[in-house]
Amino acid sequence: MEGSGGLLLQVNGHLVPNYAATMVSFDEGDVVSGKVVRIDKDEVLVDIGYKSEGVIPSNELSIRKSVDPAEEVSLGEEVDALVLTKEDQEGRLILSKKRARFEKAWRRIEAAAESGEPVEGTVIEVVKGGLILDLGVRGFLPASLVDIRRVHNLEEFTGQTLECKVIELNRSRNNVVLSRRAVLEEERKEVREEILGRLAPGQVVEGKISNIVDFGAFVDLDGIDGLIHISELSWSHVNHPSEVVAIGDTVRIKVLDIDRDRQRISLGLKQTQEDPWQRVVSTHRPGNVLEGEVTKVVAFGAFVEILPGVEGLVHISELADHHVENPSEVVEPGTKLNVKILEIDEERRRLSLSIKQVEDQNMPMSDLGAQLAAANGETQEETSEESAAGPVAESGGPAGEGVLDPPDSTPPAEDAPEESDEGSAVEAEADQVESEESTADAPAEDTAEQDEADS
């Protein structure tokens, strides 16, 4: 009927409502809008202007698992839903809220991936290797891309809304990979450039230790990280950076070098501390006697620390007055003793020390060295005695046996001692010659060892 907008029909001269005109026209796969009119434990009813309410099963409300319908929607709320089935076996209209969001989300994510704009999502799950974000679709944020620095506890992000960039998209596999780190790095890019422009080699600045690795420690300089190499942490030897600094420590460091193209900053911690070597140069001279502690024993001598961070070498020839085969016979790590400075090499930052030249030196292992030397001497004397006694015993044997032999077949008894004395004299003379030769060779051997160690 005219003027009713098609809502009224004239039938047999009577006006009746045109119910068909009030119903929404749609097909399966279309997205429709409606108002939530009822919330049950396992489903939600939505009035979309059709002849019956649409039903959204609980598993079609959200991409989350095991959701409570009352937490997803509220009475009277306007929602969008995708038509799954216009009429199922029970005559119900079946809708899906999550699939309507899914379609809209894909269009939004595809546009963001093309433009490079970030997308927002709520962290709904922590999985192996990263986080799952609700973008309308499930987006995966790898743990390495959650922050600029490594995150040790991913659980703290649960429930947070994060802004990320889409770095990988595959519609056929419903695969969305995100990066929050890309957003953070872009935000800090201007800050980094400002900091790099402000810093200069030689400056002393403050920073906070942000990470520790085997080769050094990273320092946060209010927006950009610099590296303190392990060799720049301390004037003394460092086995691992954790011996000197800990994550969270605030430190004063010196800027050593800046690579502006690669945005890398080299820092030094020891440069802000007193150089102990300068104390040695300014306060000590060759001939001074100092107390020190053995830090390392090597084949050619021992290293002794005389000041924190300053070590000198005691050559094996300067360990003891007697000959030393192995430095461990005389000293061991941790031994405290006095040493005499023989030489200070300022250019090479090296100290030559001596233990044996210190008067009234109390050596913890001196008895061991003396015992070893004495034992070697006793062994040589016993060997010489056995060598001298050998020929007499041999000549005595035939003489004893000769008593049973006929007189004409045995040499006179008085001849045997003469032969024995003569043989012993020859051997004794040979031993003396060998002893003189070894004595003459000893200094040359020591000199060769010293030259080898110095080289």
What is the residue-level pLDDT of the chain in tens, covering all 455 positions?
555 555 555 666 666 555 555 556 677 878 888 899 999 988 999 998 887 888 999 888 887 777 888 888 889 999 888 888 888 888 889 998 888 888 888 888 999 999 989 999 999 999 989 999 998 888 999 999 999 878 889 999 999 999 999 999 988 888 899 999 999 888 888 788 888 888 899 999 999 999 999 999 999 988 788 999 999 998 877 889 999 999 999 999 999 999 988 888 999 999 998 888 887 888 888 999 989 999 999 999 999 988 887 889 999 999 998 999 999 989 999 989 999 999 988 888 888 999 999 877 766 555 555 555 555 555 455 545 444 444 433 333 333 333 333 344 444 444 444 443 444 433 444 344 344 433 334 333 344 444 444 43
Q: What is the pTM of this model?
A: 0.44
Homologous superfamily, domain 116-184? Nucleic acid-binding proteins (2.40.50.140)
For the chain, which residues make up each domain, given as ranges?
Answer: 28-100, 116-184, 202-272, 276-364, 368-454
Q: Is 294 helix (H, G, I), strand (E, B) or coil?
A: strand
Give me the pLDDT at residue 253, please. Answer: 94
Q: Among 81, 28, 26, 19, which Cα is nearest to 55's? A: 81
Where does 28-100 sit in CATH, by number? Answer: 2.40.50.140
Give me the pLDDT at residue 164, please. Answer: 95
Rounded distance between C-alpha atoms, residue 19 and residue 8, angstroms:
8
Measured in whole angstroms, the distance separating CA 94 from the mean position of its chain's CA atoms is 56
Cβ burial of 283 (10 Å; 0-12, 13-18, 19+) is: exposed
Q: What is the DSSP string of 418-430?
A: HHHHHHHHHHHHH
Q: Among 27, 64, 114, 69, which Cα is nearest to 106's? A: 114
Rounded distance between C-alpha atoms, residue 223 and residue 185, angstroms:
10
Fold topology of 202-272: OB fold (Dihydrolipoamide Acetyltransferase, E2P) (2.40.50)
Measured in whole angstroms, the distance separating CA 126 from the mean position of its chain's CA atoms is 25
Rounded distance between C-alpha atoms, residue 351 and residue 339, angstroms:
11
Q: Among 2, 66, 70, 14, which Cα is nearest to 39's? A: 70
- Do the two domains 116-184 and 202-272 of this chain adopt the same fold? yes
Q: Among 267, 211, 265, which Cα is nearest to 241's? A: 211
Rounded distance between C-alpha atoms, residue 201 and residue 278, angstroms:
23
Q: Is 143 helix (H, G, I), strand (E, B) or coil?
A: helix
> Is 276-364 in CATH node 2.40.50.140?
yes
Measured in whole angstroms, the distance separating CA 23 from the mean position of its chain's CA atoms is 67
- Which residues have CB under 8 Å from 414's CB, separation 6+? none
CB atoms within 10 A of CB 142: 15
Rounded distance between C-alpha atoms, residue 62 and residue 135, angstroms:
11
